């Protein structure tokens, strides 16, 4: 869902079901260049294949809050 909100597409896509599942297992996906770096980091952390390295919900909330705070400062300045 987060990927769709950011750029209107699912992170994994392929017409071939086997190839799609392989991409999911390997964690191979594309993030468009216009997605802000903080959001790219958040998305990569959420989709991390290794469960030990995967971002937790708590850490994700911290990253998102920091990103929004920085953007708010830029907007107000």
Query: pLDDT value at position 3?
Result: 75
Distance of CA 51 to the CA centre of its chain: 15
The CATH code of the domain at 2-76 is 1.10.510.10
Cα–Cα distance, 13 to 19 (Å, whole number): 9
Predicted TM-score of the model (pTM): 0.61
Report the pLDDT value the prediction gives residue 77, as an integer from 0 to 100: 54
Q: Find the mean pLDDT for residues 1-7.
A: 70
User: Domain-by-domain residue ranges, the chain?
Assistant: 2-76
What local confidence, expressed as pLDDT, does residue 19 receive? 94
What average pLDDT does the chain have? 80
On whether the CB atoms of residues 3 and 43 are closer than 8 A, the answer is: yes
Residue of 67, 55, 59, 72 lying closest to 6 (CA atoms): 67
Q: Does position 59 have pLDDT exceeding 80, yes or no?
A: no
pLDDT digits (tens, 9 = 90+) for 7-57: 777 888 889 999 999 998 998 888 888 888 888 888 888 888 998 888 877
Q: What angle do CA 77, 66, 58 make, to 5 degrees?
A: 160
Question: What residue has token string 């996906």?
Answer: 29
């Amino acid at each position: 869902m987060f990927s769709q909100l950011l750029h209107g597409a699912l992170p994994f896509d392929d017409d071939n079901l086997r190839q799609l599942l392989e991409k999911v297992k390997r964690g191979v996906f594309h993030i468009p260049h216009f997605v802000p770096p903080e959001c790219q980091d958040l998305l990569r952390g959420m989709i991390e294949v290794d469960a030990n390295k995967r971002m937790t919900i708590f850490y994700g909330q911290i990253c998102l809050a920091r990103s929004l705070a920085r953007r708010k400062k830029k907007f107000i300045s």
